[in-house]
Structure 1
Amino acid sequence: MSREKFVSGTLSRKRFQEILDLFHQSTQQLGDDRNKIKIVTYQGEKLVVKSFRTPNFINKIAYRFFRKSKAARSYYNAQYLEQHGIGTPSPIAFLEQLTALGLHESYYVSAYANHDFTYREIINDDQLQDKENILKQFSKFMYDMHEAGIYFLDHSPGNTLIKKEGDNYTFSLVDLNRMKFYDIPYEDRLKNFERLSPKKEMYEVMGAEYALLSKQDPQTTIETMWKYTQQFQEAFHRKKRMKKKIKGIFKS
């Protein structure tokens, strides 16, 4: 026997179904993700709908009985961020479709966040102006997030949306299902920068600004950030080499 769990502060289940129908019809897919993410327009409002990949057998059971699903975590984490003044697209609703064996399908709907670029462009776009100022303001955003006890586990370059407003920049986090909430020690805070860039000069700007806000030593902060980044980069490329090697074995 199947059942479903639907949570929303504003939408009825009927209206949510209308949004899902638009999702299945839409061809505006964002990125090449293992989950399907599409933009839809519903009653004049631009929305983002994320359909999570059906979990494996063990996770089906875990998400059904022991843990919140990725859709539920995305929704509740976004609420937490909003309550603490941290930018993220407004959460609208989530739906879990459940069977006796566990979670089958799940969906998360949020508002669409208008943005000019992502953090990735700071790394890759040589034409982008005002990078130092952006990085300083981003460091303040990170500091505020950490002060609110938020540790973003998927803090990769594509998951921060950036909008320019005069001389200021606003930042919005997406892909929110993996977060921790605790009183974050300084060392952990610096580790939270590790996925953001392979470029040391960016950490020199971010580290100096973060240290200033935290009343810590700038050089030690920069060196610690960079140490964690190098460790992450080494592990990331080692994993890529291993995958390539395994793929080669199966091809031969």
Structure 2
Amino acid sequence: MQITAHPLYKEKEMLISQLVDYFFSSGDMIVEGSRNTIKSNDLDGEVVNIKFFQKPGLFKSIIYSFFRSTKAKRSYDYANYLLEHDIPTPLPVAYIENYNSLGLLQDSFYICQQIDYDFTIRELIHNPLFPERNNILEQFAAFTYKMHESKVNFLDHSPGNTLIVKKGEGDYDFYLIDLNRMKFERMSIEKRMDNFKKMWLSKTMVKVIAKAYSKLSGHPEAQLHQILLDKTKAFKGKITRKKYLKRKAGLMK
């Protein structure tokens, strides 16, 4: 086991490793997926989230062991990058990597502080009458613009991966989660609009975000609206086709 802890948690490495040792028998389940599992647990009186990345196949195990950072390490490093650039994300506590006797990755864990959030973008998608919906979308556009200006291309920029905390009347904070897929690069305006496509935005939401992003970026609103609308439509069509083909394949079995 190799553990890397944030300087603020260096003295708690033993407690962190114990949480990982008892990951499967303690804690509260948050997400139980086929590949990754997330639980919350107590770390010396503080609630933290622990994400377990399952053992990769042999090929990926070799890649992660010798050529590329593990998902846990990337999550930790990217969280630190975001915070250094004043982009909110749960504070990274530590990451742990387990290797076998051949030096191949077995599994890994990422631990971060828990954020008590109010809702995600998903609620705004499903409820057109969500209170202060347009105001929240405008602030979300500003949050994403700041992210883009910091050269962050968040490849998993999707409805459930931004936690929203209401600070006061009409004022919201946004926190990025599920961080292991990012690129750090200068982004063209087309690539910036493409980064919104997984949000599954309605036409009304597209209009609000394009207008807000236009004010910040200086690009014409009509241009951004058309690009964002085209990217959103193409993505929705692609997902719909995949689901249709999957259902069709299932019926033919």
Q: Same fold (TM over 0.5)?
A: yes
Match of 2:69 in 1: 68
Give the 3 Å change call, closer, same or farther, for CA 205–189 of structure 1 in structure 2.
Answer: same
Tell me, yes or no, if structure 1 residue 37 matches structure 2 residue 34: no
Q: Distance in 2 between matches of 1:248 and 1:97?
A: 41
Q: Distance in 2 between matches of 1:27 and 1:112?
A: 13
Provide, for residues 73-107 of structure 1, a one-character-per-residue CA deviation record: whole Å limited to 9, x for no partner. 00000000000000100001001111216211100
Conserved? CA contact 1:93–1:109, under 8 Å: yes
Give the 3 Å change call, closer, same or farther, for CA 185–234 of structure 1 in structure 2.
Answer: same
Match of 1:48 in 2: 49
Once structures 1 and 2 are overlaid, which stretch shifts more, 142-151 or 39-48?
39-48
Which of 100, 111, 114 is 1:112 aligned to?
Answer: 114
Q: Distance in 1 between matches of 2:56 and 2:249?
A: 24
Kindly provide the amino acid, as one letter, of the partner of residue 37 in structure 1: I
Gaps of 5+ in 1: none
Match of 1:94 in 2: 95
* Identical aligned residues as a percent: 36
Gaps of 5+ in 2: none
Give the structure-2-normalised TM-score. Answer: 0.93
Q: Please state how far the C-alpha of 1:127 moved relative to its aligned partner.
A: 5.4
Kindly provide the amino acid, as one letter, of the partner of residue 206 in structure 2: Y
Give the 3 Å change call, closer, same or farther, for CA 22–116 of structure 1 in structure 2.
Answer: farther
Match of 1:175 in 2: 178
Which of 140, 162, 165 is 1:163 aligned to?
Answer: 165
Tell me, yes or no, if structure 1 residue 15 matches structure 2 residue 15: yes
Kindly provide the amino acid, as one letter, of the partner of residue 14 in structure 1: M
Tell me, yes or no, if structure 1 residue 207 matches structure 2 residue 210: yes
Q: Distance in 1 between matches of 2:109 and 2:82?
A: 19
Give the 3 Å change call, closer, same or farther, for CA 134–73 of structure 1 in structure 2.
Answer: same
Q: Which secondary structure state, in structure 1, belongs to the residue aligned with residue 29 of structure 2?
A: coil
Match of 2:28 in 1: 28
Q: Distance in 1 between matches of 2:237 and 2:167?
A: 37
Give the 3 Å change call, closer, same or farther, for CA 151–137 of structure 1 in structure 2.
Answer: same
Q: Distance in 2 between matches of 1:87 and 1:31?
A: 22
Give the structure-1-normalised TM-score. Answer: 0.93
Conserved? CA contact 1:89–1:112, under 8 Å: yes
The CA RMSD over aligned residues, in Å, is: 1.5
Provide, for residues 166-207 of structure 1, a one-character-per-residue CA deviation record: whole Å limited to 9, x for no partner. 121000000000000011111111110001024111010001
Conserved? CA contact 2:31–2:39, under 8 Å: no
Conserved? CA contact 1:137–1:169, under 8 Å: yes
Q: Please state how far the C-alpha of 1:247 moved relative to its aligned partner.
A: 2.8
